[in-house]
């Protein structure tokens, strides 16, 4: 009969002791660490919002290739790096399945040393390579029912393309930071867990290339609005109409463009 009364008496004292401990730790200089979040909205030009790298393909119904809608902003990745004291994601193996002249997933984000398996589960033969770095990934025929392994050892952006069907592309982003996100359909993104009050570098990959880069403060409390310029060399194809009210994706202004690619790795076909 006395045990319940003892529990009721000790519980408040225990809570008070824990509360004092947390308060003391905070006063002592941050024993309870805070984490920052970088979030915002991308404003992409029409050439990047369209979801296709090659316009003008006919939609033809046949028994091998079903009609599919064009991909959207799910191909846009936001990466935050340059944060001291962080470690890259552990290497892993990711499978990309190719069927119906499409790849799933179209964008892969992995750590250095990871292996990507390109698996042809469709009825059409493909010839995959990395046109900008054929030494790393030379062209090779991928017949239906076969697969190919490719190791990516150096951080950077890699674009894999099919020689026979150039609209079929796969982006592999190798990051040396665990902080990244894939933008949603409206261009929104959020990258939590960053050290508070730290300077970092934010990069945007879209449609097979780095299209934007800027410095960010992880302690910022306001959402970012990142305006991405049309990629260089697009000419008239990159021109767009004036942005309409309520459309977060339409914005012709922005800062620069660039490219990134790794220069190391091993390849093996099986």
User: Over the stretch 112-151, which tens digit does the pLDDT of each residue have?
Assistant: 999 999 999 999 999 999 999 999 999 999 999 999 999 9
How many CA atoms lie within 13 Å of 5's alpha carbon, on the beta-carbon side?
Answer: 2
Where in the chain are the domains? 37-65+72-269
Length of the chain: 270
Beta carbons of 194 and 38 less than 8 angstroms apart: yes
The residue written with tokens 């190719």 in the block is: 98
To which H or E segment does residue 169 belong? strand 169-174
Average pLDDT rounded to a whole number, residues 198-208:
91
Q: For the segment 56-93, what is each residue's pLDDT rounded down to a tens digit? A: 454 555 555 555 555 444 689 999 998 888 899 999 99
Task: Select the more confidently predicted residue: 227 or 93.
Answer: 93
pLDDT of residue 27 exceeding 60: no
Are 163 and 99 in contact by the 8 Å Cβ rule? The answer is no
Q: What percent of the chain has pLDDT over 70?
A: 62
Residue 236 and residue 245 in contact, taking contact as beta carbons nearer than 8 Å: no
Output the CA–CA distances (angstroms, integers) from residue 167 to 57, 128, 175, 236, in the order listed. 9, 12, 25, 20
Residue 114, SS3 per DSSP: strand
Burial letters 210-244, b for 16+ CB under 10 A, else e: bbbeeebebeeeeebebbbbbbeeeeeebebeebe
How many angstroms separate the CA atoms of 158 and 30, rounded? 40
User: What confidence score (pLDDT) does residue 154 get?
Assistant: 96
CATH 3.40.50.300 fits 37-65+72-269, yes or no: no
Tell me whether residue 259 is exposed, middle or buried, using C-beta atoms within 10 angstroms of its C-beta: 0 to 12, 13 to 18, 19 or more: middle
């Amino acid at each position: 009969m006395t045990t319940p009364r003892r529990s009721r008496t000790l519980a408040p004292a225990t809570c008070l002791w824990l509360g004092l401990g947390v308060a003391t730790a905070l006063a002592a200089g941050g024993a309870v660490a805070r984490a920052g979040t970088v979030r915002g909205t991308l404003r992409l030009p029409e050439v990047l919002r369209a979801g296709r790298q090659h316009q003008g393909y006919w939609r033809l119904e046949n028994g091998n290739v079903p009609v599919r809608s064009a991909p959207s902003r799910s191909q846009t990745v936001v990466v935050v790096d340059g944060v001291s004291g962080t470690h890259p994601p552990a290497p892993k193996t990711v499978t990309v399945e190719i069927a119906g002249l499409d790849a799933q997933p179209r964008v892969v984000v992995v750590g250095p040393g990871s292996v990507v398996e390109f698996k042809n589960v469709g009825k059409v033969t493909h010839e995959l390579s990395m046109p900008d770095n054929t030494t790393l990934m030379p062209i090779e025929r991928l017949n239906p029912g076969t697969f190919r392994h490719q190791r990516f050892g150096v951080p950077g952006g890699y674009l894999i393309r099919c020689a026979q069907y150039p609209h079929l592309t796969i982006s592999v982003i190798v990051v040396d930071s665990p902080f990244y996100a894939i933008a949603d359909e409206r261009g929104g993104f959020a990258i939590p867990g960053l050290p508070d009050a730290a300077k970092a570098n934010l990069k945007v990959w879209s449609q097979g290339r780095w299209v934007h880069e800027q410095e960010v403060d992880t302690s910022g409390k306001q959402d970012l609005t990142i305006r991405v310029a049309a990629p260089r060399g697009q000419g008239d194809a990159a021109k767009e109409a004036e942005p309409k009210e309520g459309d977060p994706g339409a914005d012709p202004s922005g800062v620069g463009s660039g490219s990134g690619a790794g220069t190391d790795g091993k390849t093996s076909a099986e």
